[in-house]
Each structure stands twice: as C-alpha cells, then as structure tokens.
Chain A
C-alpha cells in the first residue's frame, strides 16, 4: 500500500476532473440516468491517474458509476468532487467499498439538487437579472454586461472551491455545507435584496393603465390620474397582489394566470376600462 503519499490526487488531475464535470455534466441528459454519463466521463478521464496501467480496475470503476445520478450541476459540483475524492482513496488502497461510494453519491445528490436549484436559478440568477433589467430599462448594454461579469465572477471561483473542497474533505464536506447556519442567513439576506429589487423591476416593467374617463357636460373624471394621485403605480401594485393571491394562495398555474390576464386585457379594451 502506498500510504506514504498523502496527496491522493495531483492538482492537474483535480483540475482535469473539474473542467470535465463543468463542461459535460448535462451533455447527454436522458430519462434513465440523467447526469450519470457525465460522472463516468469525469472518472474515465483521470483513470490513468487513479489506476495506472490497470485496465481491469479502470473498467470496474467506470462500471460502478453507470447508474442514475442527478443534482444541480454547479453548486452541487461538490458531490462529483466528493466522488472523485472517495475513488482516489479507494484507488490508493483505502477501505472504501463500492457500495459506500454509491450510497454517499446517491444520498447527497437529492439535498444538493434542492439547495442548488433554490439558490442558483431560484435566488442568485433572478436577483442579478432583476438588477440587470433595471439597468437596461431603455435598452442600455450595461444590464447584460453586468449580469455576465457578476454571475461568472461569483460562480467560477465558487464552483472551483466547492469541487476541491469535496474532493479533499470527502464525505464530511457535505455535512459542513448542509448543516452550516451561515447558509440560511446569507440566503435570508439575499432574499430581502431580491424582494426589494423585484418590487422595483415590477414598477418599471409592468404597466396597467386605466382608460376609463367619465364625462358629463363640462365635468370630466379621469380615473387613471385620480388613482395614480393616491399612489403612483397603484393599478400595477393591485394587479400584482391579485396575481400573488391567485398564483400563490389559489395555486393557479402560469398558463392559467396568463389566460386570465389575456381575458382581462380583451374585456378591459372592449369596455375601455383599460388602455394601452
């Protein structure tokens, strides 16, 4: 047993595996195994490093990963990192069984899919996009450029760190991330920024104009200006609350909500209650 070498994997091998996962995780997405082939590819590309000149062992390693795997690929990249770390330990003669590797892998993919989806497409992307949309209200190029640089500036170092951390700390790494209270607090703070920003973008992007004008002789009542003098944008705000009530409390689907607004638009236009 070659335990004299503390470093289980060379930096080069970890880098190779990281980029492998980053590029190919969803490339052959499929009903049966989802990201499974991506894991196989990642391990296959460092197989010489793990089992030098031992084709039989390399083949066995690849075979044991031809199973279902699915997680959020980026914040969840800690899981393939952990898999790589465990495989390296096994290859160096550590007491790691095949069942153990797959049990850990399968146990972690669910929680990290949940965390990843709620933090990445559920929080980070929409908040940055809302800010970007606010910057591009009149088609300015600043919005998309802001999004590209900030998003990649956060995600590239973060995924590199998570993958390495998973690889080095092994299965314990997951505990650290899953049980740490700091995540909840950062999420809470991000959500407050998100709520304020989404409110701001709603005000600049959504529009509901009341077209109804009551005229009797010389008297003319312009409902739109009256309502907006109470609070500018009040019709939009009330429509947003109605949408919130129907979609969140009444659990309406997106398509039903869109159909509802289409009907409102048609009726509103015909009765001249709503205007362009």
Chain B
C-alpha cells in the first residue's frame, strides 16, 4: 500500500466516523460514507479495485446492519472495522472471511477510541464555559470546530498507521495460514450475517407471526431466485395492503 493510499484511507475514515462534522456530520458521514457498504466502495476506489471493495464492504455491512448507536453507548465501532479491516484484507488478496476476522477485533479497539474521545472532550466543554463567562463569545462558538481535533487524532492516526504499516504484515500472515484454518473461518463467516440480521429482526419483529414476512422474503430468493427490485415491489404491495387495511379498521 502506498503512502498516498494510506493517507487517503485515514482521511476518509476520519470523515465517516461518528463524531466527524465534515460531511454534514452523520448525514453524509456516519450514516452514509460510514456504512461499510459505502466505505467499501470508496476503499475500492482508493485501492483500485471497486468490485472487491464492495464485496468486502457488503460482508462487513451484513454483520453490523442491526447496530444502533444510541446516546453515546457504543457496542462495537464500525469505523475501524471497515476502514482498517477491508483495506488490509484487500491488499492481502484475502476473501471476505478475512475482512470479517479483522473487523471484529478492530471494532472493539474502536470502542476504546470512542470512549477516549468523549473523555478528552470534557476539556473543550469547560473551555467553552470559561470563554462564555469571559465574554469571548465568538471563540466559544468555535469550540466544536477546535474540539474536533480529538476525534481527528483518534480516527485519522490509527487508520493511516495501521493500514500503512500493517499491510505487509497481514499479507505475510495470510500467506502462511493453513487451508483448514481458512476453511473454518469461511464456514464461520458465512454464518455471521445471521447475527447482524437477527439484531435487526429484534428491533422490527413485534410478534412471532411477523417472521412470516421474513420467510417470505427468504423464499423469494432461495426458491424464486428473484433480484432485489422485484422483491421490494412485492414487499411494498404487502405494506400498502396492511396500511390500507389498518386505516379502514380505524375508521370503522
């Protein structure tokens, strides 16, 4: 991996992290560029293989699709997982099972970065208080800009350094890993999307019968072999019927 590539990964990784303001904060950042599927595309562009980037991004996305990060508590950090896990697996020429194997431990490391950031930022909060008390209002207003430095340091630096220094190491490790290990990892990685999707079902399913919709969608692919657009159309029809029916019920 070249220096420029690692620098770009660090830069885009920072822009897509949860506390970064640059891309209209979470709108273009955390919830768009920060979703591993979209990150994968950009990583693919930077490393010159868009297709592989998206495939690896989708694999990491599947695991974290049900992850909600409410009010500052963070169960896993998708940022390191995507911006370090995907590029390292890519340069090593490894499959999505290695992207996932890297992503999971990195997501725990990322949580430590989140907690460090919100702890250090206390300094800036109190700095803002003092500036207001002293009547330096314009300076106080700039605190969210100045204080972004903490988040920048905790995002740009590790992503840049680990990608730049780690690429060769990971490539060497992947070369000497025996086939049986890769096989087990692959069986494991093929089951992992279920964890992500179950987390999502947990939020959506209100009664056990709702799972019938899930089975219906499943069968449309596994038996019917339909692609996504027709499935969304069929699902919309079902949703419309439900919408209409529940409205009539209310009027009656």
Contact = CB atoms under 8 A, between A and B. Distances in A.
Check if A and B associate.
Answer: yes
Interface of A: 22-34, 36-38, 40-41, 44-45, 47, 55, 58-59, 62-63, 66, 70, 72-74, 113, 117-118, 120-123, 125-126, 129-141, 143-145, 147-148, 151-152, 155-156, 159, 181, 185-186, 188-209, 231-233, 236-237, 239-241, 243-244, 247-248, 254, 257-258, 261-262, 264-266, 268-269, 274-276
Contacts of B221: 199-200, 203-204, 233
Contacts of B183: 269, 276
A141 B50 CA distance: 8
Interface of B: 18-22, 24-28, 31-32, 35, 37-38, 40-41, 50-55, 57-59, 61-62, 65-72, 75-76, 104, 117-119, 121-122, 124-125, 128-129, 132-133, 135, 137-138, 140-145, 147-148, 150-151, 180, 183-188, 190-195, 197-206, 210-211, 213-223, 226-229, 231-232, 234-236, 238-240, 242-243, 246-247, 250
Contacts of A45: 141
Contact of B187 (A58, A193, A254, A268): A268
Contacts of A186: 243
Interface of A is mostly: helix
B192 A123 contact: no
Contacts of A156: 24, 27
B63 to A, nearest CB: 9
Nearest to B203: A122
Which residue, A33, A37, A147, has most C-beta atoms of chain B within 10 A?
Answer: A37
Contacts of B141: 40-41, 44-45
Contact of A207 (B124, B142, B190, B242): B190
Given A121-B31, A143-B58, A151-B32, A28 B148 contact: yes
Contact of B19 (A26, A144, A207): A26
Contacts of A197: 217, 228, 231-232, 235
B132 A59 contact: yes
Contacts of B195: 243, 247, 254, 257-258, 261
A265 B101 CA distance: 14
A131 B132 contact: no
A265 B227 CA distance: 29
A37 B218 contact: no
Nearest to A241: B211
